[in-house]
């Protein structure tokens, strides 16, 4: 059966905010262009580079840091490891010197004001998120490549064929939710066990577990950091960070010294509905405030929706006795598979499908994962995912000022709460009587995306983006 093989580590990527499609994707595209230049044998012949940003990348590129991302990518920096505290100093140096050290080895002339062109009214046919790099050589010859940032940090080069098939032959090929259910029924394995068997096609079990625990460690560090950072978010909207003050208010006079003792302090506060609800919101706010501040986050499946899965997993660990490495791995395996099914059958790009493609998908992923780790059946896992997405259908992407702040940050809290609600509904239901399947809701999501006006697809040309008066003093 032809299938696209997507690893759990394709769905969860460690990177830098604020956007997977507008920051991480362009950053990775720049790194790919460096590979082209180095493979050409003409790397040291490059004297300058021009960057063209099309469509959604142009319209919300400043607010999403697309210009920053391509410069860091051309410098050869790794978004997984680059110290986020050095982002602004590096960009300031490039702007002041009008020089860029290509791949960290070859200095060229580069003026961001002149060499990054935002083509607001031009759109390439394949995808709204397109960018072209052109290197000018000493001889006058040019080397040019066009890339598409298709969501979730995934990048395709112009002319690169879609991976309808894969050279990696998975033991359990999956394109749709029905495929996943088929393998679960045939083998008797849980969803996460099927996913683990597929993951072994790339790496051994110890490496999978180690990698996923690293993903969680990065998520947890982001939550903790976001719960202790105060001040205003960058970008000019003057949005006040709320997670730190909420953290203080919820903990009162309790003391702690690190992440572990912080969790103990939270647990000691009880388990009332209001208390848990406040903490889930706090966790989601914390992640996306970090994301909006060019912090280190995990794309899950996107940066704009990066707070949903960490918030729900932190909820599971704290309030459902889920503080167990195997349970954490189980959670992330399940979430990733559901995300990959959405990517194959619809989209995880807000520029293609609106915010249903980001918050909706992340909520569906989290609902499925929570249901699996709470002991739900395979059918209940898929039902939870369907319920979560069903109630995000048609959600628009209308960021004010092109910034991943309003309404994006609060939407992560709503996505997390909906995921928990969807899981509880599924766990208390009999899936045999469900009228809507996960595959049906994925198809409906894609149909809705096709019918949705481009104004509501990450362009800041509709919705809240045009109805809320703003003064972007820093943009």
The tens digit of pLDDT for each residue in 242-258 reads 999 999 999 999 999 99
**Environment class of residue 424 by beta-carbon count within 10 Å: exposed (0-12), middle (13-18) or buried (19+)?**
middle
Give the span between the Cα atoms of 216 and 400, in whole angstroms: 30
The answer to whether 4 touches 344, Cβ cutoff 8 Å, is yes
Q: Is the pLDDT of residue 165 over 90?
A: no
Locus of tokens 């394949």:
126
Partners of 147 in the β-ladder: 131, 157
Structure tokens at 470: 């703003």
Q: What is the pLDDT of residues 77-106, one digit of tens each?
A: 999 999 999 999 999 999 999 999 999 999
Q: Is the pLDDT of residue 471 over 70?
A: no
**If you average pLDDT over residues 315-330, what whole number do you get?**
95
Give the span between the Cα atoms of 269 and 164, in whole angstroms: 50
pLDDT, residue 2, reads 62
**If you average pLDDT over residues 270-281, what whole number do you get?**
97
Structure tokens at 201: 């096609």
**If you average pLDDT over residues 438-448, what whole number do you get?**
98
Q: What is the pLDDT of residues 34-52, one digit of tens each?
A: 999 999 999 999 999 999 9
Q: Which H or E run includes 247?
A: helix 243-251
Phi-psi region of 270 (alpha: psi -120 to 50; beta: other; left: phi over 0): left
Q: Is the pLDDT of residue 475 over 60?
A: no
Of 218 and 152, the one with more pLDDT: 218
pLDDT, residue 86, reads 93
**If you average pLDDT over residues 181-209, what whole number do you get?**
98
**If you average pLDDT over residues 101-114, what whole number do you get?**
96
Q: What are phi and psi of 106, to 5 degrees?
A: -135, 110
**Rg, the chain, Cα only:** 22
Phi-psi region of 188 (alpha: psi -120 to 50; beta: other; left: phi over 0): left
Give the span between the Cα atoms of 253 and 259, in whole angstroms: 17
Buried b (16+ CB within 10 A) or exposed e, 179-213: bbbebbeeeebbbbbbbbbbbeebeeeeebbebbe
Q: What percent of the chain has pLDDT over 70?
A: 97
Give the span between the Cα atoms of 260 and 268, in whole angstroms: 13
**If you average pLDDT over residues 393-421, what whole number do you get?**
95
Give the span between the Cα atoms of 59 and 459, in whole angstroms: 6
Q: Is the pLDDT of residue 222 over 60?
A: yes
Instruction: Provide the Cα torsion 437, 442, 444, 450; round to 10°.
Output: -170
Of 166 and 269, the one with more pLDDT: 269
Which residues of the chain are in CATH 3.30.1330.90 domains? 20-157
For 132, 269, 305, 436, 438, the CA distances from 350, given in Å and listed in that order, are: 20, 38, 10, 24, 20
Count Cα atoms within 13 angstroms, Cβ side, for 472: 12
Of 159 and 273, the one with more pLDDT: 273
Q: What is the pLDDT of residues 279-290, one digit of tens each?
A: 999 999 999 999
**If you average pLDDT over residues 183-199, what whole number do you get?**
98
CATH number of this structure's domain 20-157, picked from the four choices 3.30.1330.90, 3.30.1360.200, 3.40.50.2300, 3.90.480.10: 3.30.1330.90
Give, as one character, the DSSP assignment of residue 400.
Answer: G
pLDDT, residue 161, reads 66
The answer to whether 66 touches 73, Cβ cutoff 8 Å, is no
Q: What is the pLDDT of residues 168-180, one digit of tens each?
A: 899 999 999 999 9
Q: Is the pLDDT of residue 351 over 50?
A: yes
Q: What is the pLDDT of residues 9-28, one digit of tens each?
A: 999 999 998 988 889 999 99
Residue 263 makes CB contacts below 8 A (sequence gap 6+) with 317, 318, 323
Give the span between the Cα atoms of 96 and 141, in whole angstroms: 28
pLDDT, residue 163, reads 46
Q: What is the pLDDT of residues 228-239, one digit of tens each?
A: 999 999 988 999
Among 191, 164, 193, residue whose Cα is nearest residue 179: 191
Instruction: Using DSSP, state whether 109 is helix, strand or coil.
Output: strand
pLDDT, residue 474, reads 36
Residues listed for the chain? 475
For 190, 257, 269, 336, the CA distances from 254, given in Å and listed in that order, are: 40, 11, 9, 36
Q: What are phi and psi of 148, to 5 degrees?
A: -120, 130
pLDDT, residue 160, reads 79
Band of the pLDDT at 63, cuts 50, 70, 90? Answer: confident
**If you average pLDDT over residues 332-351, what whole number do you get?**
96
Band of the pLDDT at 164, cuts 50, 70, 90? Answer: very low
Residue 391 CB coordination number (10 Å): 16
**Environment class of residue 159 by beta-carbon count within 10 Å: exposed (0-12), middle (13-18) or buried (19+)?**
exposed
């Amino acid at each position: 059966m032809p299938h696209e093989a997507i690893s759990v580590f394709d769905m969860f990527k460690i990177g830098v905010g604020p956007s997977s499609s507008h920051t991480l994707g362009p950053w990775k595209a720049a790194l790919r262009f460096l590979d082209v230049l180095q493979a050409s044998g003409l790397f040291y012949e490059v004297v300058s580079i021009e960057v063209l940003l099309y469509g959604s990348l142009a319209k919300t590129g400043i607010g999403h840091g697309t210009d920053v991302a391509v410069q860091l990518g051309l410098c050869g920096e790794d978004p997984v490891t680059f110290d986020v505290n050095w982002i602004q100093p590096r960009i300031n140096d490039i702007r002041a010197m009008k020089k860029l050290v290509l791949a960290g080895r070859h200095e060229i002339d580069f003026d961001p004001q002149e060499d990054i062109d935002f083509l607001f009214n031009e759109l390439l046919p394949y995808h709204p998120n397109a960018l072209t790099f052109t290197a000018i050589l000493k001889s006058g010859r040019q080397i040019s490549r066009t890339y598409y940032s298709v969501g979730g940090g995934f990048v395709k080069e112009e002319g690169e064929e879609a991976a309808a098939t894969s050279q990696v032959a998975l033991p359990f090929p999956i394109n749709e939710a029905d495929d996943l259910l088929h393998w679960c029924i045939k083998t008797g394995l849980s969803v996460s066990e099927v996913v683990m068997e597929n993951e072994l096609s790339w790496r051994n079990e110890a490496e999978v577990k180690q990698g996923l625990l690293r993903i969680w460690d990065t998520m947890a560090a982001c939550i903790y950091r976001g719960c202790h950072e105060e001040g205003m978010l960058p970008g000019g909207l003057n949005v006040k960070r709320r997670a730190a003050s909420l953290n203080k208010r919820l903990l009162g006079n309790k003391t702690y010294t690190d992440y572990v003792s912080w969790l103990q302090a939270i647990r000691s506060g009880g388990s009332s509905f209001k208390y848990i609800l406040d903490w889930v919101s706090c966790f989601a706010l914390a992640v996306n405030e970090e994301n909006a501040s060019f912090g280190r986050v995990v794309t899950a499946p996107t940066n704009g929706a990066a707070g949903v899965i960490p918030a729900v997993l932190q909820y599971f660990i704290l309030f459902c006795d889920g503080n167990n490495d195997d349970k954490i791995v189980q959670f992330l395996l399940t979430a990733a598979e559901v995300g990959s099914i959405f990517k194959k059958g619809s989209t995880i790009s807000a520029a293609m499908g609106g915010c249903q493609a980001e918050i909706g998908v992340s909520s569906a992923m989290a609902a499925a994962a929570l249901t699996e780790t709470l002991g739900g059946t395979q059918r209940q896992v898929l039902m939870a995912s369907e319920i979560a997405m069903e109630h995000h259908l048609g959600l628009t992407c209308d960021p004010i000022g092109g910034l991943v702040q309003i309404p994006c940050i609060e939407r992560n809290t709503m996505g997390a709460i909906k995921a928990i609600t969807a899981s509880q509904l599924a766990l208390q239901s009999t899936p045999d009587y469900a009228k809507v399947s996960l595959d049906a809701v994925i198809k409906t999501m894609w149909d809705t995306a096709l019918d949705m006006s481009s104004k509501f697809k990450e362009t800041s040309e509709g919705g809240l983006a045009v109805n809320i008066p703003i003064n972007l003093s820093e943009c």
